[in-house]
Amino acid sequence: MAKYFSVLLFLLIGYGADSQKLDSLLDIQRGADPQEKVYVQFDKNYYNPGETIWFKAYLFTGTDPSETSKNFYAELLDEQGNVLSRKTAPVSRSGAAGSFDIDSSFTKSMIYFRGYTIAMLNGDTSFLYTKAIPILSAKASTGKALIQQPPALRFMPEGGDWYNGLPATMAFIATDQKGFPVAVSGIVMDEKGSKVTDFRTLQNGMGRFVITAEEGKTYTASWNVEPGKQYTTPLPAFKAHGVSLTITDAEGGKRFTVRRTEQHAESMKRLFVIGYMNQRLIFQATVNLSGKLTASGIFPTKDLPSGILQVTVFDSAYKPVAERIAFVNNHDYEFDADVFIGQKNMLRRGLNQVEVSMSDTVPANLSLAITDADLNETNSFDDNIISHLLLTGDLRGKISNPYYYFFSNSDSAAIHLDLVMLTHGWRRYNWDNVLAGKVVQPRWKESNYLSLTGQIAGLQPGSYGSDLQLTGILQTSDSAKTFFNLPVDRKGAVFAEGLFFYDNAKLFFNFNKKSMSFDKSMLMVDNGLHKGYRKVLPDTIAKMGLMDITPGSIASNNKITKTFLQNRRLAALKTGMLENVTVKTKAKTAKDKMEEKYVSGLFSGGDKDFDLVNDPLASGYMDIFQYLQGKVAGLQITTGGGAPTLSWRGGTPALYLNEMQTDASMLSSTPVSEIAYVKIFRPGESIVTGGGGGVIAIYTRKGGDAQPNAATKGLSYVQLEGYSALKQFYSPDYATVSEKDAYDDVRSTLYWNPLIYLDKTRKRIRLQFYNNDISKRYRLIMEGMNSEGKLFHVEKEVK
């Protein structure tokens, strides 16, 4: 998005070194706190005890896919803030995926999801991603009944304050005790009870009116919920002297108007007005009010990315005196993609084929959920990837139906969106710290994916020579092995980073000097990940919001399932047998099986692959580079005299071992007999980071392909915890006979795929799933982003 910020415009009187200094100061803040934000797509909206919550997280900084964090953390909490379960996942292409299993004995009506990164923990933690998830259970306890409280009405003057004698836009928002909007109407009266103006809500409890304060007067609102009881709320006290700020839409931009009171401080004669987005300075205007009370200008916005524009007015001493946010909507935030069912079969256990496509060539990262629409009702205006990353992820407080503001292109939707800007708080700077160049020091340190941080104890002083190395074999739970050598520093510390594996692994190790040996009690290791807490503050739960889950909604969900099953069984009894379903599928090739066993979605595709498990000649080569020589057109491999050198079309290929970036020397030391599969990506064809000179991805044997563990025999080992164990989404294959076929299939999530990657070489893919026993309507929801930060969201219902 750098193209949007290449030009700094000046308005009115102009500017000089001050704006350049401010731009640099904002850069310092952005470097210290990138204000990372997360959106999470779930497979459905609510769950039953015993089910699995599937999720996909997308990470952004501003309007760009985030390159800040390498690790994602997710937690399930109960209403007391107890952490019930915690998962970690690697961030790949600004996304991360995982799952939680809900205990079958869970009896609460709500469970709470919290997702974050280390960068988010080091920033304003009120912007961690949180979501209240309803649990449908006949045993669910609704907790203590809420004591009925009157609705709340809050007034917020535009710019932060209002002043004697200056017209002010007074915004307001009315909510019930759960934070949901309520419609109100009323009048504003002065201290004598005389009517000044009237007001009523325009959208989702929000509204505004214009009022001019008069010296010596106070103002109170008398209002009621339609229809309902009468309430009174005082308006905020106005100030005698100061500067007001008004933002309105103008042709091609945003018009700002600053007004000062007649009596004013000397510092109010010369003002600075700045506009900034995503922590980048966009505009600066210098306003001279020494001989007038009002000044106005226009910030051009047609070339800006869509998002929240923050406007701050400073006095001549650079003290902030007014602030306001406005939304720039240039309708430029989406990319063109689609998902549809090419082959529809809603018979019992019928085979369906889904096609996912995009017209662009920019790499895209997508996730797709297909559910039983009768068992998964949705609100089309709920928060989604577009509304969250452009709006709700940057604002405080509950926003009802946030996608409405992007789904509709009407003028009224734009007016209503401005009400959101006027009534919700946002990420604010401490301008004293900004102008002083001060930053908050990070409390937590981010690890470059998994790390191996070890400390050796028990050796005699002086044993840690400069040439001492710890030789190791990292064997993961699926039997895959990674070989490496780690230098030992003079304090006995060893360190490696960029590791990538799931579940627990065994680190077998020894010294490179045969005269030295030690047991596992002498090596202490850590994986570098944040360990989290067992409990979070209760107010964290309160901020996640409440949702109305009534016994009626639980009964309705269960009744639909029960009715469909009863009808199907009744039909089966009448015919004397259950209906048979005949399906035809394409048999998996040897390559398909290797891809399924070894390769994640990010490394799918490729231009050439080698199956060493089924190549009887592979074991005759000294190393993998000798094996590859002459087998890949254009790839130059030079061996002899140390680590091999590689070149391809003027670049150097990126090397990966078990999808962890590595170097040629590490791969040379990996025995060919341990290697199962090799994938080759031509230069510029891979969406994997560092693939400009091509990518070579090598996978060591695991499972039934693994060789006997002769390499680890006799070595000491320690356990090293990896990312949370991956759980595969279960999608039955009714083309083959299984004992599970005898059970009723009432899956409400029919298909879930969080790892759909498209690029210019793969702009269309075909997927398949089988219907359950009862579904007559499918709901498809696909979301995602591309590498340029464009977003995608679509929801379809198929009958």
| Residue 579: pLDDT over 70 | no
- Asked whether residue 581 carries a pLDDT value surpassing 50, the answer given is no
Reference 236, options 212, 258, 220, 259; nearest CA is 220
What pLDDT band is residue 47 in, cutting at 50, 70 and 90?
very high
pLDDT for 35: 93
More confident call, 118 vs 593 = 118
Judged against a pLDDT cut of 50, whether residue 706 lies above it is answered with: yes
| Whole-number Å distance between alpha carbons of 314 and 712 | 67
Contact status, residue 755 vs residue 769, Cβ threshold 8 Å: no
pLDDT of residue 466: 77
Mean pLDDT of the chain: 86
622: Cβ–Cβ under 8 A, 6 or more apart, which residues?
672
Least confident of 30-39, 514-523, 653-662: 514-523
Q: Which residue type occupies 159? A: G
Tokens coding 575: 């015919």
Give the model's pLDDT for residue 482: 84
Regarding pTM above 0.75, the answer is: yes
Residues 678 and 499: their CA atoms lie apart, in Å, by 19
pLDDT, mean of residues 317-324: 94
Which amino acid, residue 41? Q
Written as one string, the DSSP assignment of 457-478 is -SPPTT---TT-EEEEEEEETT
Percent of the chain with pLDDT over 70: 86
SS3 618: helix
* Three-class HEC string of 196-224: EEEEECCECCEEEEEEEECCCCCEEEEEE
Q: What is the pLDDT of residues 479-489, one digit of tens each?
A: 888 887 888 88
pLDDT at residue 306 tops 60: yes
User: Once rounded to an integer, what is the mean pLDDT over residues 110-120?
Assistant: 96
Cβ atoms of residues 161 and 171 within 8 Å: no
Provide, for the chain, the percentages of residues in helix, strand and coil under a 3-state DSSP scheme, each rounded to the nearest 5.
15, 40, 45
pLDDT score of 572 more than 90? no
Contacting residues for 223 by C-beta, under 8 A, at least 6 apart? 153, 174, 184, 185, 186, 187, 199, 230, 231, 232, 233
- Cα four-point dihedral sign 67, 69, 73, 79: negative
Task: Please report which helix (H) or strand (E) contains residue 38, including its range.
Answer: strand 36-42
35/606: higher pLDDT? 35
Taking 70 as the threshold, does the pLDDT of residue 309 lie above it? yes
Tokens representing 793 are: 């969201």
Per-residue pLDDT, averaged over 373-386, amounts to: 90
Secondary structure (DSSP) of 530-561: ----SB--HHHHHHT------HHHHHHHHHHH
Helices (H) and strands (E) in the chain, counts: 11, 44
AA identity, residue 508: F
pLDDT > 70? residue 439: yes
Question: Cα 670 vs. chain centroid, distance in angstroms?
Answer: 36
Spatial distance between the Cα atoms of 227 and 235, rounded to a whole number of angstroms: 22
SS3 category, 436: helix
Burial class (CB in 10 A: 0-12, 13-18, 19+), 339: buried
pLDDT at 9 over 60: no
Cross-sheet strand order for the sheet of 450-456: 493-499, 450-456, 523-526
For 138, counting Cβ atoms within 10 Å of its Cβ (0-12 exposed, 13-18 middle, 19+ buried), the class is exposed
- Residue 632 neighbours by CB under 8 Å, 6+ apart: 608, 680
188 contacts: CB under 8 Å, gap ≥ 6: 195, 196, 197, 198, 199, 209, 211, 219, 220, 221, 235
Residue 603 and residue 609: Cα distance in Å, rounded? 12
Q: Determine the average pLDDT of the residues in 577-586.
A: 47
Q: Is the pLDDT of residue 264 over 80?
A: no
**pLDDT, tens digit (0-9, with 9 covering 90-100), for 408-423:** 888 899 999 999 999 9
Percent of the chain with pLDDT over 90: 56
Q: Closest Cα to residue 126, out of 511, 392, 514?
A: 392
Nearest to 700 by CA among 482, 473, 471: 482
* Tokens, residue 199: 């007001």
Output the six-digit token pair for 77.
């909490």
| 160: amino acid identity, one letter | G
Contacts of 61 (CB under 8 A, 6+ apart): 34, 35, 36, 37, 67, 68, 278
